[in-house]
Each structure stands twice: as C-alpha cells, then as structure tokens.
Chain A
C-alpha cells in the first residue's frame, strides 16, 4: 500500500526533511500511519464517485420522462447502499482517529526524565532547561536538544500572542495560547536535525520563527547539557575583550544576556547569547550562523527580518568587527 501511496503523491516521500510522512518519533509515526490510510481510502472514494458521476452523465439514456416504479425502487436501493457504504467508511475513520488519539495520549503518560520550558515570543523561542539543581539549569534559544528515545516534558507558554509549536517529523502541533500554559510530552526516536517552526500566524515575522530540534544519543546530549550550563568564558584575544566591553556598554547588553559577562541583560526580552556560537542558525532560522551573516545581521537586522525588535546598529566597522569576534568566541 505504501508503494502506491508514494507513487500517487510522490513528493512528500521524496523530501524527507520536513514531511509529516517521514516520522522520526513514535507520535509522528502513529499519525503518519493514520494519514496513509485516510489518503488511500479517500483517493479510492474520490475515484469511484467521480467515475459514477461521469458514467451517469455520459451514459445513453432516454430523452425525457419519469422513471417507472421498478426503476425507481432499484435506484432507491442503490442510493441506500451508497449511504450504508458511506456510513461504514466513516465509522472506520472515526475508530481509526480515536485509536490513534488513544495511542498518542498513552505516549504522553510516561515519566519524563527531562523538563524543558519553552516560552514563545514574537518571533523567537526561549528554551529553558530546568533542573532540580538550579546551577545545572540554563537558558538557550531557538535550538531544542533532545536525548534519543526518552520522553521529554515541554512546558509551553506564550509571552505575547498565540503561537504554535510544530516539529512535523516528531509530533503534532501544540497551540500556545496566552493564559493557557500547557505541558506536553515529546519523544524522538531517530537521531538527526529536525526542523520546527511556529505554525500559528503571529504577526510580521511569522515566516521567520523557526527552531531546530537536535536529537542525539544520551551521552552526546549530556555533554551538550553540561557545556550549556557553564557560564561564558572571558575571551582570550584582545579583540574579543574589546568586543565584550562594547557588548556590555552598547544596546546589546540591555536585552541580551551572556551569563558570566558584565552585560546586565534581562532574561526573556531577547535570546540568551551565552553559547551563541554553538548554535546552527541566527534570528530564529532567518540566517545560518556564520561570521559574515552574523556581522550583516548585527549591522542591519531590519533588512533580514523587518519588524524584529532588534534595533539597527550604529557601531563603527572596527567596533562591529570586535563585537562579532566576541560573539564568535561564545562557544
């Protein structure tokens, strides 16, 4: 069956990276299975009903007149049969939907080992790894790391408007509605880098509110976690130190936090930059994280992401370069 489904719809199977039909976790797998069945049955129903209509239209018939009583009864039987088949198919769909939903709710009842708080902002994701030992907890942004095969509890809330968290390869969407925080569980089975994004229209830069979910084996995940919990090291080059001073004195430090630096910062207004250089993208997926893109972004964020709350920078080229060197050192 899968072969035919692929042959018919083709495209989703060929681009595995963001498709709900390339599941990398148990929840997405269950939904994809349901999806294939629904697609196959619905396509069959579509073909049959279109064929019936075209046959009725193109069949040679009589020019006019009432149908006789016998014919009328026959037609009534066919229509009744059609309705019975419809009801049967729909009952199948309702049961399949209900069973899949039950599977999903059972998945959500495991004891989660890891507790992550995700706060959606216009237009970035604040991601807080919580830990019973406060010093082992930390804050990062736009990059969610998950240990392979273990349930992770996500506490979702919004700081402003409605957002929706979606990683098609892993699980369904969860709307994040202000005033309605909720807790969900996410399990990823397959190691890799999966794309997530905001799915609910949230204003100007809804298009650039992406994040990345990195699924890695437990050991690698733990290494990452330990590294992230550590405060930033003071830069070792002179240029970097100059950059750190600029960061603390100019606009940057007003909103962004670099743990362990002099910047006052205020958590929750802008992404935490303590380990910026370890991340894959900038500005919630608007740009890849490279030296040139970072410099361009800092110089004129409104060019890449019109409407973003980050202001245009008026630093001299030398200062800007020092700043980028500093940020690049935040491994």
Chain B
C-alpha cells in the first residue's frame, strides 16, 4: 500500500467509500490465524459468551447430579468423595467460570458500542484475558474429570483445603484456577474503566452515560478493589501447600480465620460484581419497554455507586457464627441491611418509570418481571440473615442455599436472560422466537421457585449444607424431592433456551439496526455491527441519543479510514481530545496466555516453575509490546 492511500480521511470520501474502507481496515484476517490474532471486542465477547454458556451447561449438569443424589433419603447415586468434588465444582464453575465472565462478556460487547467507540481500550489485553479464562477453566475441568477436582467447597476453608487435610493436588488446582480468573477479571476491569473514561463519544458527559455502562464501571472498580484480596489469600494457600509456609496453620502462629476474612473481603463484593451488571441490564430493558427515559437517573447512578462502596463493608456477615466480637457483628448487621436502601431505590425508580407507560410485554420484559418475582424473595431473605441471631441459626443450612440461588437466579440470571433476548438481534442479526421465549420464561420462573423455595424451608427444618446424604427420620425427603423436580424443570427451561438460540441461528438474518426503537448508541450500528462499529463517531447531546435524533446527524469527522484510529475524549463532559492509533491484531496475546498457563499449571507440580516459567511469559510480553511503527 502506498502512502497516499494510507493517508485518506473520512472527509475525503463518500459515505459508501468510507464504509468499505473502514470495513477493510478493521476486519480480522481470514482463517484460523486471523481468528487467533483477533483483537476485535465483538469477536472476543462472542467467544467469552459461548465459553461461559458451555460452563453454565457443565455447572448445570453438576447441579442435576446433586439434586438426583439428594432427591430421596439414603440414596447412593454418589459417594461422599464424588459428591464433595461435584458440589465444589458446581459452585466454582458457576461463580468463577460462568457468572462473572458472562457479565464481563456482555460488558465487553456492549460497553464500547454504548459509549460510541470503535473498539475497547487495550484490545490485546482483552484477547489475552479471554485465553487465560479459557485455559484456566479447561484446566480445572480436566483435573475434575481425572478425579483430581477440588473438594473443599468453592470457598476452600482452611485447614480443610490446607496441606494437612487437603489431599493430593485437588486444592492446588482450585487455587490456581483462582489465579487464572483473577488475571482475566482484572484485565477486563481495566479495559472497561479506560473505555468508559477515555473512549466515550464527544458530548457523552457523565450525566449522559447509559445506566448499563455505569453499572459496568462500578463493577469494574469493585473487581479492582476486591481481587487483590483473593490474590493474596489464594497465593498464601498455595504457598502453604507447596512450599510449606504456615500462614493458616495455628500450630505455627498462623490463623485459619485469616483465610475467611480475606476470602470474604473478596467474596462478598463478588456477589455485587455479578448483581450490578444485571441491574444495569434490567434498567436498560425497563427504559426501553417504557418508551421514556428512566425515572430518577441520578438516584439510580448514585445507588449503583453506593452499592459498590457498601459491598466492601459487609464481608463479616459470612462469619457471624465464627465467634467474632458482638459489637463488631452489629456493625455488619447494619451495613448489610443498609445495602437494601440503594437496591430498593433502583426498584422504586423502575416502578416509577413503568407506571404511566404502555408496555408491550416482550420476553425480555417478562424476565425483568422474573427479577421481581424471584429476586425480591432472595433480597428479603438476605435482610433476614443480616440479623446476627437469626443468621446464627440458619447459616450453613439450606436456607442459605435457597437464599443465594434466589439472589443469583433472580438478581443476576433473570436480567441476563432478558438482556440476551434484548440484545440477541444486535449480537447476531437474528431474533429469538418470542413464543418459545415465553415458554422458557414460565418454566424458568416455576422451576426456580420449586427448586429453591423448599430449600428455604429445609434450612429452617435443620438441614445443613454440603451433606451428601441424609437419613429418612429427618423428615426432609418430601421437600427435597420437590426441589429436585423444580431443578429438573429449571434445566428444561434452559434446554428450551438453547433450542431457541440454535433455531434462530439457523434462520435468516432479518434484524434491522434498531428493531426495538431503543435509545442507546449500540442500536445505531448495523445488526450485527460492522467490524468498525460506527461509520462516524456520533456527537452526543442527550442521555437517550437515538430518541432525540434517530439518524445521529451530528457526527465527528476527520478520522483516518485506512488505519485503525479511535477518538479519545477527556473530562467529565467528554471533550474530543486526540486521535489514537489502535494496536493491530496480534498472535502475542495468545502466546502470552499459553506461557502463563504453562507457568501456573507447572507451579502446581514444581514450585520452581514460577521462576523458569516466567521467562517465556516475559519473552511473549516483549513480543507483544515490541514497538513496530510510529503512527
């Protein structure tokens, strides 16, 4: 290519030529090589989504195995060893390999589009974070299938997970999986924060940022502040196990409670890392369904931010039975209950938004209703267990199992499914079937309540958690059978969903750019978006840009079309600042992730792998960052 061609600006060309030229510039190279090198946030997000769904399926199968074993007293479908690995893998898979990554996936796809950018910040880091996630998840599942699956619970309390009582390599795989997921999550958090702060379209001031983007921003900050805690404690665990440190060994001056503090200092914000994106999704759907800007935008944003802050002040409510000082426990009661206030504020605002609106009840709106019908019970049981004495009775019983599943299936998965129905045309250019969607919703709603309401009762009736069997005279048999039936129905609802997705993917691309007449910028691109997302970066002058001006007539010009460029803005009102070249597709993130994987898995078997394994990682990073050309 000669210099003149390389230097074309969008002001020199016709609209059609611009589209063609940008598409050529931003497309990945074809073939496997191009696929491995891709740094396009949409391809990476798609891979994230598909991988997360595979892990959801695997975690779901495990939950069915658990429900089969517990369906009746004294069943022998699973022995204690298999059962302990299975429930540990269920929790680990659902939390670390499904819930967090799937929210990140949607964020990686939608956030750049919503803020009117052509790409996510640090796109190579984005590719790297996906590969690390994939390899980490694969590692722990291969270990599990080889009967070396972690078996000390997804919370890995020491000393049970420590060197003395955690046999073999099981807990080592768990601890290294945590390392994989924390690398991946931290990377995505950094990308999203920078995208939101620097890549917003000009004019998208802080008070015009879509709610979902705010939610992802707060989530990303939570990740950045919560992850170091688990980095520390999983590293301490694995060094206790591999090189004989005694961080958690009381006999040598260590402390088993230290693990619990560090784990839950991460573990509680983790719940909000899953919950916040989901309320952002629900708010997006509510606003769209009501055909009017969401009521109380500032209140909702402040609520999201205050949930982010508060989520760091309530970890001790996981340890109310551990015998900590009473007065401290009272503080954590108050802070745990206080988080209801910003959560309630958001729900009130949704109700106020919908109050005067004429709503077409689509499947995605149904799933927001599902949020109310499921999450409200989860949230309120949460308020109940914030009361120390009540918690000291029901903690470690099925009441808690019921509570977390109500929270997660109502507060996270239901809005997520609604969001998938909402954004599916954007992701694929195809619609999901509404009729099948309704069946999916009703089975989901019924299945969730049948599976988890009995658990609330079982907990009150004294059924403790993590037991692989129970005897007949406990009287827990009937409710467990009902719960297992509900779990089956819930699984069936996901089969319907899978069927819906597959059927739709076989169909024709028929979705226009903005099928729902939605207000945010992602609906200004084609469905699915072109590799470069936008022909022109829009100029934003409203919180609901597409409702104000459907054609986005005001736009930014003057960007290169033959080389990848993004527009960087600055300040709270997103003033255009400078044009920034975007890193080219590269194989180095993939190589770096393989080197990281070799180092981390190697360290499980030989601690020295951390030393020699870091050399290839360093080499890959040099290749990755090697300056090739001056822009």
Contacts and interface: CB of A to CB of B under 8 A. Distances in A.
A261 interface: no
A123 to B, nearest CB: 10
B219 interface: no
Nearest to B330: A98
Interface string A126-164: 000000000000000000000000000000000011101
Nearest to B466: A201
Nearest to A156: B323
A61 B79 contact: no
B334 interface: yes
B384 interface: yes
A35 B390 contact: yes
Contacts of B310: none
B352 A79 contact: yes
> Chain B CB within 10 Å — which of A100, A197, A201 has the most?
A201
Contacts of A319: none
A11 B348 CA distance: 33
B470 A93 contact: no
A307 B396 contact: no
A173 B377 contact: no
Interface in A188-210: 195, 197-207
A19 B398 CA distance: 12
B64 interface: no
Contacts of A54: 369, 372
B461 A203 contact: no
Contacts of A83: 341, 344-345, 348
A198 B292 contact: no
Nearest to A39: B384
A97 B469 contact: no
Interface string B243-275: 000000011001111000000000000000000
Contacts of A34: 387, 389-390
Contacts of B344: 82-83, 86
A12 B513 CA distance: 54
* B contact face: mostly helix, strand, loop, or mixed: helix
Contacts of A96: 387
Contacts of A104: 389
B345 A198 contact: no
B395 interface: yes
Contact of A178 (B159, B334, B350): B159
A307 B469 CA distance: 14
B460 A21 contact: yes
A122 B369 CA distance: 46
B146 interface: no
A174 to B, nearest CB: 7
B226 to A, nearest CB: 23
Nearest to A98: B330
Contacts of B256: 162, 177-180
Interface string B312-339: 0000000101110010011001100110
B323 A65 contact: no
Contacts of B354: 53, 56-57, 59, 61
B465 interface: yes
Interface in B82-96: 84
B160 A87 contact: no
B232 interface: no
Contact of A12 (B160, B250, B369, B461): B461
B337 A90 contact: yes
What class of interface size applies to chain A in its complex with B? 35 or more
Contacts of A93: 337, 383, 386-387
A226 B534 CA distance: 87
B349 A205 contact: no
Interface string B158-182: 0110001100000000000000000
Contacts of A9: 457, 460
B34 interface: no
Nearest to B347: A49
B358 interface: yes
B464 interface: yes
> Chain B CB within 10 Å — which of A67, A71, A76 has the most?
A67
Interface in A30-76: 30-31, 34-35, 38-39, 42-43, 45-46, 49-50, 52-54, 56-67, 71-72, 75-76
A140 B218 CA distance: 55
A174 B380 CA distance: 24
B345 A175 contact: no
A96 B333 CA distance: 11
> Chain B CB within 10 Å — which of A9, A30, A168 has the most?
A168
A172 interface: yes
> Chain B CB within 10 Å — which of A60, A166, A202 has the most?
A166
Given A34-B390, A64-B291, A79-B296, A172 B159 contact: no
A306 interface: yes
Contacts of A75: 295-296, 352, 355
B397 interface: yes
Contact of A173 (B350, B355, B396): B396
A223 B8 CA distance: 100
Contacts of A178: 159, 250, 256
B359 interface: yes
Contacts of A266: none
A236 to B, nearest CB: 34
Contacts of B345: 79, 82-83
Contacts of A67: 292, 295, 356
Given A34-B387, A206-B466, A12 B340 contact: no
Interface of A: 9, 11-12, 15, 17-21, 28, 30-31, 34-35, 38-39, 42-43, 45-46, 49-50, 52-54, 56-67, 71-72, 75-76, 78-79, 82-83, 86-87, 90, 93-94, 96-98, 100-101, 104-105, 122, 160-162, 164, 166, 168, 172-175, 177-180, 182, 195, 197-207, 285, 306-307
Given A79-B345, A100-B387, 12 more contacts: A18-B475, A31-B392, A56-B354, A63-B358, A66-B292, A94-B334, A97-B330, A97-B390, A168-B462, A177-B322, A204-B80, A205-B80
Interface of B: 79-81, 84, 152-153, 157, 159-160, 164-165, 250-251, 254-257, 291-293, 295-296, 299, 319, 321-323, 326, 329-330, 333-334, 337-338, 340-341, 344-345, 347-352, 354-359, 361, 365, 369, 372-373, 376-377, 380-381, 383-384, 386-390, 392-397, 457, 460-462, 464-471, 474-475, 479
23 contacts: A19-B460, A31-B390, A49-B372, A49-B376, A50-B373, A53-B351, A56-B351, A56-B355, A57-B354, A61-B356, A61-B357, A90-B338, A94-B333, A97-B333, A97-B387, A97-B388, A98-B330, A105-B326, A160-B164, A177-B257, A180-B250, A199-B397, A203-B165
